[in-house]
């Protein structure tokens, strides 16, 4: 599991996630995973559930279960009520699918490397 507060990789991944969320009209200090977790918990539309499934399945490659719920718990006290126009949500979906495609490749390579060493 990545320590998002201490590791170099974790801090940078979290910063990129917050940037992507901000670009899609979300809160500045909220990660995309936290936003997805919030919307699944309180709105649970098929749109948010599909994104949660995609992100959670990606982070399971690093043995992290329920990543979006964990991110929501880390972001307690934040204002999640921003963002929501169709254009912004399409942008968020594009960011999530692109990022998870790249991360899955990286995580799978990391697991293969660990098996061979």
Inter-axis angle of helices 86-116 and 8-23, nearest 10: 160
In a domain? residue 67: yes
Model confidence pLDDT, tens digit, residues 8-18? 877 888 899 99
In a domain? residue 105: yes
Model confidence pLDDT, tens digit, residues 5-42? 677 877 888 899 999 988 888 888 889 999 999 999 98
pLDDT band of residue 116 (cuts 50, 70, 90) is low
**Looking at residue 77, what is its pLDDT?**
79
In a domain? residue 73: yes
pLDDT, averaged across the chain: 84
Task: Determine the structural domain holding residue 41 and report its residue range.
Answer: 8-116
**Looking at residue 89, what is its pLDDT?**
85
In a domain? residue 101: yes
Q: What is the mean pLDDT of residues 55-79?
A: 86
In a domain? residue 36: yes
pLDDT band of residue 117 (cuts 50, 70, 90) is very low
In a domain? residue 109: yes
In a domain? residue 30: yes
In a domain? residue 78: yes
* Residue 66 φ then ψ, to 5°: 55, 55
Long-range contacts of 98-107 (CB under 8 A, 24+ apart): 99/16, 99/17, 99/20, 99/32, 100/54, 100/55, 100/58, 103/58, 104/58, 104/61, 107/58, 107/61, 107/62
**Looking at residue 115, what is its pLDDT?**
62
Total count of domains within the chain = 1
Q: How is residue 80 written in tokens? A: 């999640």
């Amino acid at each position: 599991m990545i320590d998002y507060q201490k590791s170099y990789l974790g801090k940078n991944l979290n910063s990129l996630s917050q940037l992507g969320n901000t670009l899609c009209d979300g809160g500045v200090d909220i990660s995309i995973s936290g936003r997805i977790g919030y919307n699944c918990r309180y709105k649970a539309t098929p749109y948010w559930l599909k994104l949660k499934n995609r992100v959670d399945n990606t982070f399971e490659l690093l043995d992290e279960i329920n990543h979006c719920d964990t991110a929501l718990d880390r972001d307690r006290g934040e204002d999640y009520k921003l963002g929501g126009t169709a254009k912004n949500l399409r942008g968020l979906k594009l960011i999530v699918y692109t990022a998870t495609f790249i991360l899955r490749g990286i995580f799978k390579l990391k697991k293969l490397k660990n098996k061979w060493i």
